[in-house]
Amino acid sequence: MNKKVLAIFTSVFLIAGVFTGCSSNKQDSSKTNDSSNKKSEVTLKVGASLTPHSEILEHIKPKLKEEGINLEIVNLDDEAQLNPALDEKQIDANYFQHLPYLESVAKEKGYDFEVAGKIHIEPIGFYSNKIKSINDLKDGDTIGIPNDSSNEYRALALLEKNGIIKLKSGLANYSATPNDIAENPKNLKFIEADAAQLPRSLDDLAGAIINTNIILDAKIDPETALIRESGDSPYANIVVVRKGDKDRPEIKALIAALTSDDVKSFLKEKYGSAVVPAF
C-alpha cells in the first residue's frame, strides 16, 4: 500500500515539474520575443518646420509606430540650420523646403543630398492690411518680399503673372531680384526681408508676399491672400535625405505614410487651400 502511495506522489511531482518547465519556457520565450521587438524598433529623426510640417509628421507618428519606427521630430529656432543638421548627421531627414531653395543652398554649401519624396504645396500669396484688391496698389507703394533667392524669384513671378510687373526675359534657375524687373508701371518699391519678419511688417507696407507656413505660424487666415500661386506651382515641399539614404526602409516607410490617402484627407480637413497635396 505504501509503495502505491509513494508511486502516486512521485507521479504528481513529475507532472507538476513538467508543467512548471513548460510555463517557464513560455515566460522565457515571451521575454525573448519582447526583447526582440524592442531591439527591432528604430528611431528616425526628422527636422521640420513647426507649421504645417511638424503637424503633418505628428499625424503619421502612430502609423510609423505600428511599423516599429519611433519618429522623433526635431524643431530648430532657425529653419536654415536644418540643412546643416542633416549634413552633420544630427538628423536623418528634413522636411521644410522646396526644390529651388534646396538647389540654391546645396550649390552654395556643397551639400550631397537627394529628394526622398514630394509631399505638399503651400501656395505663396500677397497679403495686405491696407488694400482689398491687388488692383488697389498705388504709384510708389512699397511691397515686402522674401530675401532668399528662390522665394524672391517666386514672389516676383507671382506679381508678373498677375500683371503688376514684368521680369527680364531669359532668367534661369528660379533666381531674380528687383533689379531684374523690366517693367514696373506703378513704380513699386521693394523691401527684401527675412520671410519670418514680413507678417509683422504688414502695417508699414502696402502688402507683402509671404509663404503660407509663415502665415499659419502668424495666425493669419491664408484665405485673406489677395492673390496666390496656382496648384501647379513647382514649389512642392520635399523630404530631403543624404545621398544614398533614400532607399533605407524607414525612409521609405516615412514617404509612404506622408503620401497616403489618410494624409491627403488630413491636409484638406485641417488646412483647406492653404496646404495642398503634391502627390
Mean pLDDT within 189-214: 96
pLDDT digit string (tens) for 211-251? 998 999 899 999 999 999 986 788 999 999 999 999 999 99
**pLDDT at 66 > cutoff 60:** yes
Q: What is the pLDDT of residue 191?
A: 98
Q: For the chain, what are the domain ranges?
A: 41-123+234-277, 125-228
**pLDDT at 201 > cutoff 60:** yes
Q: What is the pLDDT of residue 6?
A: 39
Mean pLDDT within 271-277: 91
Query: The CATH number of 41-123+234-277 is which of 3.40.190.10, 3.40.50.2300, 1.10.600.10, 3.40.1190.20?
Result: 3.40.190.10
Higher pLDDT, 26 or 236: 236
Q: What is the pLDDT of residue 39?
A: 54
CB 207 within 8 A of CB 137: yes
**pLDDT at 173 > cutoff 90:** no
3-state SS, one letter per residue, for the chain: CHHHHHHHHHHHHHHHHHHHHHHHHHHHHHHHHHHHHHHHCEEEEEEECHHHHHHHHHHHHHHHHHCCEEEEEECCCCHHHHHHHHHCCCCCEEEEEEHHHHHHHHHHHCCCEEEEEEEEECCCEEECCCCCCHHHCCCCCEEEEECCHHHHHHHHHHHHHCCCCEECCCCCCCCCCHHHEEECCCCCEEEEECHHHHHHHHHHCCEEEECHHHHHHCCCCHHHCCEECCCCCCCEEEEEEECCCCCCHHHHHHHHHHCCHHHHHHHHHHHHHHCEECC
Higher pLDDT, 171 or 136: 136
Cell 527591432 -> residue: 40
Q: What is the pLDDT of residue 26?
A: 47
Mean pLDDT of the chain: 88
**pLDDT at 273 > cutoff 50:** yes
Cell 509631399 -> residue: 119
Q: What is the pLDDT of residue 38?
A: 52
Q: What is the pLDDT of residue 21?
A: 47
Residue 34 C-alpha cell reads as: 519582447
Q: What is the pLDDT of residue 11?
A: 46
Q: What is the pLDDT of residue 16?
A: 43
Query: What is the C-alpha to C-alpha distance for residues 172 and 170, in angstroms, rounded to an integer?
Result: 6
CB 188 within 8 A of CB 164: yes
Higher pLDDT, 39 or 5: 39
Q: What is the pLDDT of residue 177?
A: 95
| Distance from the Cα of residue 89 to its chain's centroid | 18
Q: Do domains 41-123+234-277 and 125-228 have the same CATH topology?
A: yes
Q: What is the pLDDT of residue 9?
A: 43
**pLDDT at 13 > cutoff 50:** no
> Of the ranges 27-41, 175-189, 214-228, which one carries the lowest mean pLDDT score?
27-41
Confidence of residue 3 (pLDDT cuts 50, 70, 90): very low
Query: What is the C-alpha to C-alpha distance for residues 208 and 199, in angstroms, rounded to an integer?
Result: 8
CATH topology of domain 125-228: D-Maltodextrin-Binding Protein; domain 2 (3.40.190)
pTM, full prediction: 0.75
Query: What is the C-alpha to C-alpha distance for residues 119 and 187, in angstroms, rounded to an integer?
Result: 38
Query: What is the C-alpha to C-alpha distance for residues 59 and 46, in angstroms, rounded to an integer?
Result: 14
Mean pLDDT within 70-80: 95
Q: What is the pLDDT of residue 213?
A: 86
Mean pLDDT within 50-66: 97
The residues, ordered by sequence, that sit 6+ positions from 13 with a Cβ below 8 Å of its Cβ are: none
